[in-house]
Amino acid sequence: MDNIHQLKVGIGTSTSLEPEKAGKEVIIRMLSSLHQKPKFVLLFSTIHYEKEKNGMKKLVSSAYNTLSKDIPLIGGTVSGFITNQDLFIRGAVAIGIYYPKLEVTTGYGNRVKQNPKKAGRKCAEMIKNSLSNKYSTKLLINYISGAIIPKIPLLKNVNYIKSKIAGKIFSRLGLKIIELLGMGVGKEDDVIEEMAKILPEFYFFGGTTIDNFKYLGNYQFLNNKVYTNSVVGLGLSTNLKIYLVEKITGYKTKKTCKIDSTIYNNRVITKIENMPAEKYYFENFLGVNKELFQFKKLESFYYKASIYFPIGFEENPEYISGTAGVLGKNILLGYKSKGRKMYILSVTGKSVINSINFILEKIVTKNLPFLLFSACGITTLLLGNESYRLLEIFKQKLGNTFFLIPFFTNENYKLPYTQPVTRVYSYNLLSFKGRKI
């Protein structure tokens, strides 16, 4: 067996409100717990640092300048995170990993909203062209820009358009215009699917960057650079075995329907069961008043009720989307439909806890050196103040094992030579373990 004990992990956190101080603190604290020069670093922060002019840039530059310049760093903004120490709703965190037989390279692609496939292709090709074949196990860690609500003065809340005429125009023309401005839905699924074509032998593990669920902007980090509307990736090659486990935090219900027609690359549903999509969706499928789906004070891309009723597809049961908007007679999805037979999932605080217990029960005997998660931040909205129960569960069952749980708005993963999965409402876990040579 490979000496997995040579793998070292360090985690550092900071709740400083000063971006430069926070960036420096997380790296110093990470290095002090690692006691080794890391092969790579993942850096995450909440959106609060953007309140200071060039705050995100200051944070990332400070963190990167505290490292040796040959250590690659990627990451992005998250809605919060959990470590062995605590649950954080604001601050920054860095995790560094060392293992002698580990090669690392990076890549990126920009203009995700305008051309997601091109962005994914650029990032994947950069990694493929610079990573050697010395080791057989290959992994792509990736972070992608998420949805951004467009600011259009006349329409204001463009995720809820009552007018049937305005909704039709916006569905067919407006969505294409706002994507040219770098806003709108995330299109992470297109990015990941394109990357998988170029990196079929890779494991994938990643998430979608987000703010504090206002969906007004998000950032991606690569070394000392800060991007928006981009994808950043870290390619790894090692002789260790990848350990990846995932779980959807919801239960399939008996509420089903048939999608008849879609537009905008299957992201807008126009007809359901031969009825206008908006009418059937609310009156027959959900059975609730659509007015309940508006946020009047909170600027959220998701509606209150859709948090509890994500949708799945019979043809692709691993894939989950959510409702992102009502555009006249049409329904805008957060992520494109992956089939015609649609059903509702029920997600509750109890289902979140059950999913986490499922994952932890699978790994309790694995003796893994660390645990890195890609988790859905919407689950913390479901739990509210009960989110601290997550920290209690992890600390109780994992003991002294280092773990980091960043909260994203969308999660993705892939096993070698399989189709990638992008979805919401899931918990995904990554680690390494030894293998026979």
Chain position carrying tokens 């690692």 = 34
- Average confidence (pLDDT) over 241-251: 91
Instruction: Tell me the CA distances in angstroms from 240 to 6, 318, 372, one per residue in order.
Output: 11, 27, 16
Residues 347, 351, 354: CA angle, nearest 5 degrees: 160
Does pLDDT of 298 surpass 50? Answer: no
Strand partners, 214: none
What's the pLDDT score for residue 135? 94
**Cβ–Cβ under 8 Å, residues 160 and 170:** no
Residue bearing the bigger pLDDT, 414 or 437: 414
Instruction: Tell me the CA distances in angstroms from 399 to 30, 313, 362, 368, 437, one per residue in order.
Output: 19, 38, 15, 12, 30
**Could you tell me whether strands 137-145 and 203-209 are parallel, antiparallel, or unpaired per DSSP bridges?**
parallel
Amino acid at 78: V
Does pLDDT of 86 surpass 80? Answer: yes
Residue 88: which pLDDT band, with cuts at 50, 70 and 90?
very high
Q: Which of 39-48, 398-407, 421-430 has the highest mean pLDDT?
A: 39-48
Does pLDDT of 303 surpass 60? Answer: no
**Cβ–Cβ under 8 Å, residues 332 and 321:** no
Which runs of consecutive H residues, i.e. helices, occur in 277-387? 277-280, 349-363, 378-383
How would DSSP label each residue in 248-268?
A: ES-EEEEEEEEEEEEETTTTE
From CA 319, how far away is CA 285, in angstroms rounded? 19
What's the pLDDT score for residue 156? 58
Question: What is the token pair recorded at 357?
Answer: 């217990």
Does pLDDT of 228 surpass 60? Answer: yes
Question: Angle at which helices 188-198 and 116-130 pack, to 10 degrees?
Answer: 30
Mean pLDDT of the chain: 90
Q: What is the distance, to the nearest Å, from the Cα of residue 241 to the centroid of all Cα atoms in its chain?
A: 23
What's the pLDDT score for residue 158? 65
- Average confidence (pLDDT) over 163-178: 89
CB proximity list for 391: less than 8 A, separation 6 or greater: 82, 86, 87
- Average confidence (pLDDT) over 18-25: 98
Type and span of the H or E element at 189: helix 188-198
- Average confidence (pLDDT) over 211-224: 93
**Cβ–Cβ under 8 Å, residues 364 and 245:** no
Question: Could you give the percent of the chain with pLDDT greater than 70?
Answer: 92
Sign of torsion over alpha carbons 234, 222, 120, 243: positive
From CA 309, how far away is CA 321, in angstroms rounded? 10
Q: Which of 198-212, 240-254, 292-306 has the highest mean pLDDT?
A: 198-212
From CA 134, how far away is CA 137, in angstroms rounded? 9
